[in-house]
Amino acid sequence: MNEPKLKTAVLGLDTNGLLLLEAARQVENLNILAVADTDTNLAEKVAEQYNCLAYDDYRQLIIQNQFDCLLVAAPIHTCVENLKAAVKKNFNILKLPPLARNFAEAAELVRLADELGTKFAVANSLRYTGGFASLPQLASDGQIKNVFLIDALCNVGGLNHPAWQADQKLAGGGVLLYDAYEIIDLVIENFGAAQQVYALNTNTAADRQQRLYRTEDTVVVNMKFTDTLIANLTANKTIGPARHQITLYTKEKILTFSDDFFAVTDLLGKPLQRTRTARDLSASVKKQLTNFALAITAPDNNKLLGPTKAHLNNMAVIESAYLSARTAMPEEPERILKMTRVTP
């Protein structure tokens, strides 16, 4: 029996938005009825291509329609109030990361969705692609044991970042929030919430005064999970080529998950297993959209991946890291989590 088609709209038509839109077109349960972008010509051009309605005003898209799903690629500073309005109209939302600009903004969105029973999820393009696709399965099968150190890397040099990401007020953060978010999500999803966070960050602005008004492009974050597990994350916006990687050090072996391979070595570096696998971003997005659609149409048999409640842990770690960079002291995400009534 075919599942019902979900009336769907896409908010934001940058490169990631177009990828989201094309993947949604290929998901059987989704029916694209409208697209929106602040660039009127772009919205109309894309709408003509996909035979749907075009909007250049996010607010009008929401108040004039009743959708089942809203897929969001637009920057959060351009649409946060519109997302609240969409939640109040019971639109189910899948948003590209990050969830919000800061923890308070994230908590408000999560609390609202929780109170109204609306499904609100945050995507993670790493979860289903490259070597990273092996991580959740291995963890759930109990094949990753005795991990004592996690070393995570996120280099994104060579990518074009929009100018607003250098504006602290509009962006809320820099490379940690926008580029390392998915790495943080994978680590916390598989190893639990961090107890303590210590961070240092900087940027390459020409003078000290300018740096005070720019978001960070280099960050080092140390996280303590338990007395026997710590993690180190290094993220950089200027070093290339683009690369994501997580290395797990256990008492028996070393496991490395990356964009294009999964490898296992012994403690001396002798290869035990190596699997090369290309990162297919389009396929990853399609899998996430399929899960999202099935979690709406057949929730009893399909668990929603990436619910925003779980992402409060990510936002608490990121908020702690930014606070630590200012105080030069370790900070505790649990203290920040207590700011909200919603329990992850």
Contact between 118 and 179 under an 8 Å Cβ cutoff? The reply is: no
Kindly list the distances between the CA atom of residue 5 and the CA atoms of 2, 102, 166, 293, 294, in Å, as whole numbers in the listed order.
9, 34, 40, 9, 11
- Buried b / exposed e along 48-64 (16+ C-beta atoms within 10 A): eebebbbbeebeebbee
Choose the weakest-confidence range: 114-123, 277-286, 290-299. Answer: 277-286
Binning pLDDT at 50, 70 and 90, where does residue 279 land? confident
| Greatest alpha-carbon span in the chain | 63
- How far apart (Å, rounded) are the C-alpha atoms in residues 84 and 195? 30
In the three-class reduction of DSSP (H, G, I as helix; E, B as strand; rest coil), residue 235 is classed as strand
For residue 104, give the amino acid letter.
A
- How far apart (Å, rounded) are the C-alpha atoms in residues 321 and 172? 13
Query: Quick one: how far is CA 219 from the chain centroid?
Result: 17
| pTM attached to this predicted model | 0.93
Residue in this structure with the two tokens 């338990």, named with its chain if needed: 226
Question: What pLDDT is recorded for position 22?
Answer: 97
76 exposure class (CB count in 10 Å sphere: 0-12, 13-18, 19+)? buried
Contact between 100 and 172 under an 8 Å Cβ cutoff? The reply is: yes
Angle formed at CA 295 by CA 291 and CA 298, multiple of 5 degrees: 120
- How far apart (Å, rounded) are the C-alpha atoms in residues 75 and 33? 21
Question: What pLDDT is recorded for position 274?
Answer: 92
pLDDT higher than 80, residue 9: yes
For residue 326, give the amino acid letter.
R
Pick the CATH number of 6-125+283-307 from 3.80.30.20, 3.30.420.40, 3.40.50.720, 3.40.50.20: 3.40.50.720
pLDDT higher than 60, residue 344: yes
Question: What pLDDT is recorded for position 280?
Answer: 85
Count Cα neighbours of 61 within 13 Å in the Cβ-side half-sphere: 31
The radius of gyration of the chain's CA atoms, rounded to the nearest angstrom, is 20
| Superfamily holding 130-278+313-337 | Dihydrodipicolinate Reductase; domain 2 (3.30.360.10)
How many residues are there in the chain?
A: 344
Q: Which among 70, 23, 32 has a CA at the least distance from the CA of 51?
A: 32
In the three-class reduction of DSSP (H, G, I as helix; E, B as strand; rest coil), residue 15 is classed as helix
pLDDT higher than 60, residue 209: no
Both tokens of 103, joined, read 């923890």
Question: What pLDDT is recorded for position 186?
Answer: 94
Q: What is the mean pLDDT of the chain?
A: 92
Domain segments of the chain: what residues?
6-125+283-307, 130-278+313-337
β 53-55/30-36 pair status: parallel
Question: Cα(first)–Cα(last) distance of the chain, in Å?
Answer: 35
Query: What is the torsion angle, in degrees rounded to the nearest 10, for the CA atoms of residue 220, residue 264, residue 195 and residue 226?
Result: -130
Greater model confidence, 286 or 204: 286
Q: Which among 174, 241, 176, 227 has a CA at the least distance from the CA of 205?
A: 174
In this chain, the answer to whether the domains covering 6-125+283-307 and 130-278+313-337 adopt an identical fold is no
Binning pLDDT at 50, 70 and 90, where does residue 205 land? low
Binning pLDDT at 50, 70 and 90, where does residue 1 land? very low
Both tokens of 199, joined, read 């961070």
Q: Is 265 left (phi over 0), alpha (psi -120 to 50) or beta?
A: beta
